[in-house]
Structure 1
Amino acid sequence: MKIEHLAIWVRDLELMRSFYVKYFEGESNGKYRNDKKNFESYFISFGSGARLELMQMPGIIDTKNDGHQQLIGITHFAVSVGSKERVDELTKVFRKDAFEIVGEPRWTGDGYYESVVLDPEKNRIEITA
């Protein structure tokens, strides 16, 4: 078995699509739209592994996610960028582009080299080697 995709309800569908395509070299499909439900989504593929589905629909309750407080439920996802050097480089790019770094690059106790950044809607992303 494998995880096929992870879905995130978003406030700004185009902003979030652009973020994952630009910074994580994602490839987006064309926008899916269901007019009956007023639902829109994109799937972002990353070359291997699970895809990311970004979804938007009126009436979805806003959680007021601030990216700092840890809550029960899915708290982050990790994107492997292949090397320690790439983690450092990408973290610098996020900092330069004014994204919030909530975990500086470091070796974790369980053997990962990672940093943690908040995406435009304050979702936590671990960038791993």
Structure 2
Amino acid sequence: MYIGNVGIFVKDLKGARRFFESYFGARLLKSYNEPENNYYSDILELDHGAWLELMTKPEIVDQPKDPNRSGIAHVCFKADTRQQLDDIVARFKKDGYKIQYEPSNPTGIGEVRAVTFEDIVVEVNYTPAD
């Protein structure tokens, strides 16, 4: 078994799509538009076949979110190289996202967790192949 997709409700569907396209190379697979239900969704594909489903409705409540809330804690992306991870950390900082942590060690292993677009907590990690 494997996870087919992760669904995330957002207020700004286009902005969320741009975020995941820009940071993680996501590609739009399909969009669902159901105006009669006020439901709109973009299915994005990432490398290695993982999908993200970004969804919106006008009645979505977007209250402040504590990163330590119950429910799904974060979405984790695996970087292909340490340089790719370092580049994302630099972009998160440049774009003003709140970094929760970014531990590293001399072996090259590293990760970052940040509160990003619409308070979505994103983790990116890199582990070199043995």
Q: What is residue 71 of structure 1 aligned with on the other side?
A: 69
Deviation of the 1:2 alpha carbon: 0.8
Taking only the aligned residue pairs, the percentage that are identical comes to: 29
1:124 Cα offset (Å): 0.8
Residue 85 of structure 1 and its aligned partner are, at CA, apart by 2.5
Partner of 1:124: 121
Contiguous gaps of at least 5 residues in structure 1: none
Counterpart residue number, 1:86: 84
Deviations 1:38-88 (A, max 9, x none): 100101111214211000012233342143xx1221110100011223211
Please, which runs of 5 or more residues in structure 2 have no aligned partner? none
Matches within 5 A, 1:35-74: 35-67=35-67, 70-74=68-72
SS of structure 1 residue aligned to 2:48: coil
Q: What RMSD in Å do the two structures reach over aligned CA positions?
A: 1.7
Matched AA of 2:77: V
C-alpha contact 1:87 1:114 (8 A) present in aligned 2: yes
TM-score in terms of structure 2 length: 0.84
The 1:82–1:74 alpha-carbon spacing in structure 2 relative to 1, beyond 3 Å, is same
Query: Aligned residue for 1:28?
Result: 28
User: Which residue of 2 is the match for residue 15 of structure 1?
Assistant: 15
Residue 104 of structure 2 aligns with an amino acid whose one-letter code is R
Kept after mapping to 2: 8 A contact 1:41/1:56 = yes
TM-score by length of 1: 0.85
SS in 2 for 1:29: strand
Query: Does the 8 A contact of 1:87 with 1:105 survive in 2?
Result: no
For 1:72 and 1:98, locate their aligned partners in 2 and report how far apart those are by CA, in whole Å. 25
Counterpart of 2:62 in 1: which secondary structure? coil
* Count of residues in Structure 1 that have an aligned counterpart in Structure 2: 123
Structure 1 runs of 4+ with >6 Å offset: none
Are the counterparts in 2 of residues 94 and 117 from structure 1 also a CA contact under 8 Å?
yes
* CA shift for structure 1 position 105: 4.0
